[in-house]
Structure 1
C-alpha cells in the first residue's frame, strides 16, 4: 500500500462507495414498470422509501399517487406521493396511522391497477398495524424486548409477521386483484424478501408455532392476549401459494453484496487487494469481532490466507444482547471487541458502520479503529474491557473522537465492516 494513502481516509471512502451504490436515484429507475391500463398507486415503507418515491416521480411519465412512510429525518419532498415520517426502531402512533391509511388505499383497486410497493429496511417498525386484539403499546413493548434479546433479524421478523395486519403477505393480499410490483432494498442477511420489512407483499411459510418457539427461546414476555392469539393460530401469515399473491412480483434492486463490491472497487483503485468474506454474517457482535481479529492477525503475521496489503470486507447483521448500562449498537460493539482482541496490533485499521446512518438507537453510524485506539482510551482513563462489558461502544469511540456520523443516508443495505491490513 502506498505510504501516501491515509488508512482512515481509505476506509471512509469505501463506506461512502457502499452507501452510494444503494442510493435510490441509482437503483430504482432501471426497474420501473410500464404504465398500467388503470391507476398507478405508489406505497411503501422503510428508511429509503421516501428517496425511492422521489426517484419514481423523477422518472415516471404519467399520473400517479400514493403514500410512503419513512423514519423521522429521512423525508424527501415529493409532489404526488405523500411522505409520512414515523419512529424507528420502536413504532409510534404516526406509523400506526400511516399503515392504516396504506391498507385503506389498496382496498378498492381493480385488476387494471398497478401497485408499486417501495420497501427497504426499517419498514417493520414503520408499518405498525397490529392484528385485532393487539394494541400499539403491546407492539412497542415487544419491539423493545426483541431489540435487547439477542434474537436475529429473521427471528424478530418471524414474530412480527404473525402479529401484524399488514406484514407477512397481508398487504399484497389486500391489493388483490391489482397487480403488485415490489422493489426491495435489502438490509437482511441472505436477502430473503420475507425478512425485508417483515415481507408485507411476500408469502410466508413460517407459522404461529415458529413464532412461539422464538418467544420461548429468548424468554420474551407476551401479554396474555398476544400469546393467546399465537396459540390459537389466528396470527397465521399469508402463505406463498395463496391465490391472492399470483399477481405479485418482487425485485431486489440493492443488496449488501452490491455495496461490498462497490467498496472493493475503491480498494483496488488504491492498490489494496479486497477480500469479501461474506455479505450475511450474523451472530453476537462481540463474538464476530473476536473471530475477525484472529483472521486479521493471521494475515498480518503470516500472510495467510491473504497477502498484505489487503482489506477484509463483510456485511450482514450481528446482534447485541444488552447486559450493561451502555447504549448498545452492534457495529461499535463489534469494533470494540475487535480492538480488545487485537490489543493494539500495529498496521491494522478498521471501520464498522450501519449504511443507514444509525447504529442501534443512536444517530451515529459506527466508528473507526486505529492501532493506537486502546492506548488513547487508557490515556483518558477509559478501560476498554469495561466498556465492552457495559455494551458502551458508542461511549468508547465517542470519547476518542472516532465516531462516524453520516446523518440520514436515505438508504439501508445493512452493516458495512472493513479491516485494513497494511504491508508486513
Structure 2
C-alpha cells in the first residue's frame, strides 16, 4: 500500500510499512556470498591451468569433500571420472580455449566413495580489460534425475528392441517350421498319388493335382494300374475333410481299391467292398466317407471298352473326336462308407481314336467365379470342354490347368484331374504314301 506524504497515515498503515521494511532488511542480510554458497547448483572458479580457486558449498556437499582438500590443491579434472577427463582434454578444454564458453556438456564427477554424479557443465572464461584470460567460471547442474530418466528410457528401448528381436526370431522359427511342415506334407501328399502314370499300349493318359493349401493334406486321389495282361484299372475320388485323418482314409481307400480289383475287377463289386471296409472301420467313431469312380479299361481292335461305376462322384465327361462333349451318367450312386449297404451306378462306353474320358473332383465344378461368386458348375465345364480341340488327354489337361489358374482365390479346394484317351491316327501325307 502506498502512503501519501500530505496526510497522516490511517490506522493500520504503519503495520504494512513496517512489514515491508522488514522484508527488505532480510533480503539485504542474505548476502551475495551466502547466495553463492547455498545455490541449488554447483559453482567453482579455476585458474587457467585448471587449479580450483573457489568452490561453493553445494558442489562440495555433492562431492563429499572438505574445502581445504579441494581449493588450491586439486584441478577441475581431478573431480572427473577417467572418461570425463579424457573427454575434457580432447573436446571440452580445446573448445573452451577457442570460443571462451562451453555450455551444457554432460560429464561425470567422481564423488567420495567412488560414486559417479552425472552433471551438465557450463564454463566461461573471464578476461581482463585488455582481453587477457584470468580465470574460468564453471556452473555445474545435477543431472542425476535426468540420467535416471535417460537410463529408464534406454532400458525401455532395449526391452523393446529385445522384444522385437525375439518376435522376429519367433517369426523366423515359425516360418522355418511352416516350410518344413509344408515339405513334409508335400512329400506325404505325393506318396498318396502315383509318381507317374504307366504307359498303356494304345492309350494316352494324363493327370494333374491342384493343392489348395500347402498347409493341409488334401483327400483327392487317382490311379491307373494293370489288372492283367489285357486290362487296366483306374479310379479317381475325394475323401471328406482334410489333414492327417483324411490322408489315412485316402491311403486305406487306395489300397482297398487296388487289392479288391486284383481279385474281382467288376466296378460295382469293387466299390461295394470299399463301402464295407470304410463303414466297418469308421462306424464306431468319427464317420469317414468318400466319393469315387472306379473303372476298367479293356483295349480292343481300334477302340477301348470302358466299364465304370460311381459312388456319389461327379459324372465322367467324354470328349469325342468330333469336338462334342457329354457326361456319362451314373445316377443313384451313394456316398461310399455312410451306409452298410449302398447301391452304386454303373455305366459303359467305348473310346474311339480321338476320344478322351475325363474324371475330376468337385473342386473344379465348385470353384467360385464372377463378381457374384457363383459356382462354376457342370454345364460350364461341358461347354469349356466342347470348345477345346479334340487333341487328346494331355491337351485337355493343359487347358483345364489354365482354367483352374484363372479361378484365382475362387478355387479353394483341392482338385484332381485324370484324362484317358485313344490317340487319334496320325495324318498321312503324300510323301509318306510314296515312301
Report the structure number with the largest CA radius of gyration: 2
- The TM-score with structure 1 as length reference comes to 0.25
Structure richer in strand, relative to its length: 2
Does 1 or 2 have the higher relative contact order (CA < 8 Å, sep 6+)?
1
